[in-house]
Structure 1
Amino acid sequence: MATALSGRTALVTGGNSGIGRATAVALAARGATVVIAGRDAERGERAVRQIEQAGGSAYFVAVDLDGERSARELAATAERLAGPIDILVNSAGIFPFGPTEKMTGEQFEQVYALNVKVPYFLVAELAPRMAERGHGAIVNVTTMVAEFGLAGMGLYGSSKAAIGLLTRSWAAEFGPSGVRVNAVSPGPTRTEGTAVLGESLGNLAAAAPAGRAAAPEEIAAAIVFLAGDEASFVHGAVVPVDGGRTAV
């Protein structure tokens, strides 16, 4: 097992499926102890077993992330389980698509609670403690549709556009204390969550130079890079991993 991240502890939200799980597995493979946070206990325990069977170390925290309180409680629980958090990956998110007039107030609140409030207050809890120790890495997961307009994706895209701005603001705020904050902006990716999109996912992916959807592991590779020492001079970047869609 590679050990580039040995001795470090990572918290991955949404780590029981999709991009989050692929990221948790990859971080553990590089030696990090990983705390996986998610709603589905069965998937979470399965992810922990996968990591442990490969020789890694992981914990699962069953949590319904829905705003400030849940974020602060998760931060405290993760540190009780595994010690100080060195790496935070904000991967959990929801992505309802549809016409603006069809979105309800409840959907609006749910999207912003999970996609914006949870990362905000996890950073509020964990980044100052990272700064006190003089090191840390935070990687946020956004989306390519935060970078350009696409019909039916305004609610989701706007929530992730907020995360792009927060990434740059947090880099300015915490970077001088040794905490690097960056983001990855994925394109269409085949996960459990996007399976419901059916052919529309492939159609969306076909517009990019790569001409296909990504595997979760391809997005995770960029996240793990930004979390590690190889990216020591990267601050405030939003890295597109979208098959070239935002380049054309």
Structure 2
Amino acid sequence: MSERPMSLLPGMTALVTGGTSGIGRATAITLAGRGARVAVAGRDQRRGRQVVADITEAGGTADFFAADLHDEPSARKLAHAAAARFGRIDVLVNNAGIFPFGPTERTTQADFDAVFALNVRVPYFLVAELAPAMARRGHGAIVNVTTAAAAYGAAALGLYGASKAALVLLTKAWAAEYGPHGVRVNAVSPGPTRTEGTAPRGAALDQAAAAGPARRPGTAQEVAEAIVFLASEPASFVHGAVLPVDGGRTAV
């Protein structure tokens, strides 16, 4: 590793939800590669241990936290455990989420509740638990992972898009609330991105991505780099922003 990347987050601690695969995994590994100690949270213990092993083998520091996130107690329990393990949390990446597709008339109340529980409620209470301590220390960064689908209407994406649109608003509200105390809150808005979770969409993913100037899906690493930028000192004057990482789809 070069000296420059390692200097971006020296001595910092980070918590990444949904950190065992896709964008979360890439973010956890990249944060560790830039000098942060990383709490990797997820449900799959095998994958979680593998992420930690990959980080450790590369010379970084990480620990896995098994967490089935769905409500206030589960969010606060994770925040407490991660802060106890590393002494504090300087960077929170709210990445965990579910992205169902389907018509409104087939959505059940259980579906609705599950999406808003993980995509909105959990980030809300992780911030409620961790942001006040960041504010007392006078520094911290929170990066929320939203979606391009939060900004436009699309058939079969209403529930998912609505949950992420709520997270966009919360990003701005938290920036206003905690920014004056040194805590920067921002978001990334990925477009079509090739990950384990989106792989089953195959040709449909390629077709959606073809509408943008990049003419291809993004990679988890490309989104991770944007997240790490927003979490680090080079983004020190960035508050309440939603950074599109979508291959230029917002430009057309």
- Residue aligning to 1:80: 84
In structure 2, runs of 5+ residues without a counterpart are: none
Structure 1 residue 105: Cα displacement: 0.9
Q: Give the Cα–Cα distance (whole angstroms) in 2 for the partners of residues 67 and 209 of structure 1.
A: 39
Structure 1 residue 216: Cα displacement: 0.2
Q: Give the Cα–Cα distance (whole angstroms) in 2 for the partners of residues 227 and 155 of structure 1.
A: 28
- Residue aligning to 1:92: 96
- Residue aligning to 1:167: 171
Structure 1 residue 119: Cα displacement: 0.3
Which stretch of the first structure deviates more once superposed, 75-84 or 134-143?
75-84
Aligned to 2:8, which of 4, 10, 13?
Answer: 4
Q: What RMSD in Å do the two structures reach over aligned CA positions?
A: 0.7
AA partner of residue 180 (structure 2): P
Structure 1 residue 187: Cα displacement: 0.5
- Residue aligning to 1:232: 236
Structure 1 residue 198: Cα displacement: 2.1
1:152 aligns with 2:150: no
Partner-residue secondary structure (3-state), 1:88: strand
1:197 aligns with 2:226: no
AA partner of residue 31 (structure 2): L
Q: Give the Cα–Cα distance (whole angstroms) in 2 for the partners of residues 182 and 32 of structure 1.
A: 19
Matches within 5 A, 1:17-36: 17-36=21-40
Q: Give the Cα–Cα distance (whole angstroms) in 2 for the partners of residues 236 and 111 of structure 1.
A: 23
Structure 1 residue 221: Cα displacement: 0.5
Aligned to 1:45, which of 42, 49, 61?
Answer: 49
Q: Give the Cα–Cα distance (whole angstroms) in 2 for the partners of residues 184 and 164 of structure 1.
A: 9
How many equivalent pairs are there? 248
- Residue aligning to 2:144: 140
Q: Give the Cα–Cα distance (whole angstroms) in 1 for the partners of residues 162 and 16 of structure 2.
A: 22
Which stretch of the first structure deviates more once superposed, 179-188 or 1-10?
1-10
- Residue aligning to 1:207: 211
Q: Give the Cα–Cα distance (whole angstroms) in 1 for the partners of residues 52 and 98 of structure 2.
A: 23
- Residue aligning to 1:185: 189
8 Å contact from structure 1 (residues 139, 181) kept in 2: yes
- Residue aligning to 2:62: 58
AA partner of residue 82 (structure 2): A
Deviations 1:93-142 (A, max 9, x none): 00000111111111100000000000000000000000000000000000
- Residue aligning to 1:112: 116
1:219 aligns with 2:223: yes
8 Å contact from structure 1 (residues 5, 31) kept in 2: yes
Q: Give the Cα–Cα distance (whole angstroms) in 2 for the partners of residues 194 and 99 of structure 1.
A: 18
Structure 1 residue 67: Cα displacement: 1.5
8 Å contact from structure 1 (residues 147, 246) kept in 2: no
AA partner of residue 8 (structure 2): A
Q: Give the Cα–Cα distance (whole angstroms) in 2 for the partners of residues 205 and 98 of structure 1.
A: 20
TM-score, normalization: structure 2? 0.97
Deviations 1:3-34 (A, max 9, x none): 32111100000011000000001100000000
Partner-residue secondary structure (3-state), 2:70: coil
Q: Give the Cα–Cα distance (whole angstroms) in 2 for the partners of residues 23 and 243 of structure 1.
A: 18
Q: Give the Cα–Cα distance (whole angstroms) in 2 for the partners of residues 59 and 83 of structure 1.
A: 13
1:242 aligns with 2:243: no
